[in-house]
Structure 1
Amino acid sequence: MTTLTVFHEDDLSKAQMEVTEPQQIERVLKEKGVHFARWPTRDLPTAASSDAILSAYAGEVERLKQQWGFQTADVVSLSADHPDKAAFRQKFLDEHVHSEDEVRFFVRGQGLFYLHLGEQVYALLCEKNDLISVPEGIRHWFDMGPEPEFTCIRLFTNPEGWVASFTGDDIAAKVPRYEALAGATT
């Protein structure tokens, strides 16, 4: 279940708020400048190719490109049997920022976005049907869990794709990880 859990920097072990109603999640995040929406998904095979996925969502991808100026779209997919899953997980676990919006639409599975906004951390467990756009410059990180299972469409204004600037802040290590938050909601 899509879940937004909010923590305060003063006590990152205890949630201040937990929200599971999509419209309320959308409102809370909108107040912070983060776009969240629920979109319908298509029935595609688990092993659908990137081209098949992009073709199935061509209308939505084109609309986002026109609306927000994205130049490219691709598909990222990871499963629990991937031999490099631990290295991929580690790559995204440290707080970082981007010089463009980070947009993900979950076609399959789930993952956990953490947004460090002021003195709070917003942990958004995204799942199939969820679209999130993290504005450029917002400190965040992503946890796919130890046994990742997800497929996402990613959109970029930079044709080079995902480029991060790490902040050096160790806050990501202090907030409950995927195992604690995703496990509590399923």
Structure 2
Amino acid sequence: MAEIRIRNTEERIKGEENVRAFLESQEVLYEHWNPSKLPASLQNKFVLSDEEKAEILATFDEEIRDLADRRGYKTWDIISLSDATPNLDELLKKFENVHTHTEDEVRAITAGKGIFIIKGTDDVGYFDVELEAGDVISVPEHKPHFFTLMENRQIVAVRLFIETEGWIAHPYADPVFQK
């Protein structure tokens, strides 16, 4: 279940309803899908064949299509990252810079853990959203953020897009942000 850490105060927000309410106040969508729907053989697998990626998409097809219909997403895929990913550290350096997009950035975590660092309202500042299997988040367009892995360095997620070529990151220089 997702957990939030507000960086300025070290306050932690736990529990699905509390997380959802906080994120809603920050204009971020949060949902929770049932991760146990995924076959056991894929629940902790981070190097995936095309067939296994297709199986994950098929398993969550109803949830994906429901979210896509509600939010206007037109295409989706699977991203899988682990220490087996070529050039993982270089890839993470690219991810770990605050940026914005001209469309929502959506992740539905099916295995592993990840973290979004998001710029909240002025009274909140930056906050971390720690995600695990079943957590679904949509960071709205133009909201400064970045996504990275947690200490386990393993994640599988469904990504949804409005633009068929996917999103493009626009750097966001913010002197207030501290890693």
Please say if 1:43 is aligned against 2:38: yes
Out of 130, 134, 137, the position equivalent to 2:135 is: 130
Q: Give the TM-score normalised by structure 2.
A: 0.87
Question: What residue is the counterpart of 1:76 in the other structure?
Answer: 79
- What secondary structure does 1:124 align onto? strand
Identical columns (%): 26
- What secondary structure does 1:162 align onto? coil
C-alpha separation between the residues in 2 aligned to 1:94 and 1:124? Answer: 16
**C-alpha contact 1:89 1:145 (8 A) present in aligned 2:** no
Q: Give the TM-score normalised by structure 1.
A: 0.84
1:75 deviates by 0.4
Cα deviation per residue 1:17-39 (whole Å; 9 max; x = unaligned)? 10121210110111111111211
Out of 58, 80, 101, the position equivalent to 1:55 is: 58
Q: Structure 2: which 5+ runs fail to align?
A: none
Cα RMSD of the aligned pairs, angstroms, is: 1.7
C-alpha separation between the residues in 1 aligned to 2:142 and 2:109? Answer: 22
Question: What residue is the counterpart of 1:101 in the other structure?
Answer: 104
C-alpha separation between the residues in 2 aligned to 1:106 and 1:147? Answer: 14
- What secondary structure does 2:90 align onto? helix
1:170 deviates by 5.1
Q: Residue type of the partner of 1:60?
A: E
**C-alpha contact 1:2 1:126 (8 A) present in aligned 2:** yes
Cα deviation per residue 1:85-115 (whole Å; 9 max; x = unaligned)? 1011111101000111111100000101011
Q: Structure 1 residues 81, 146: closer, same or farther in 2, change over 3 A?
A: farther
C-alpha separation between the residues in 1 aligned to 2:149 and 2:167? Answer: 16
Question: What residue is the counterpart of 1:91 in the other structure?
Answer: 94
Question: What residue is the counterpart of 2:13 in the other structure?
Answer: 19
- What secondary structure does 1:30 align onto? helix
Instruction: Determine which structure has the larger strand proportion and give its number.
Output: 1
Q: Which moved more, 1:48-57 or 1:73-82?
A: 48-57
Please say if 1:144 is aligned against 2:149: yes
Q: Structure 1 residues 21, 147: closer, same or farther in 2, change over 3 A?
A: closer
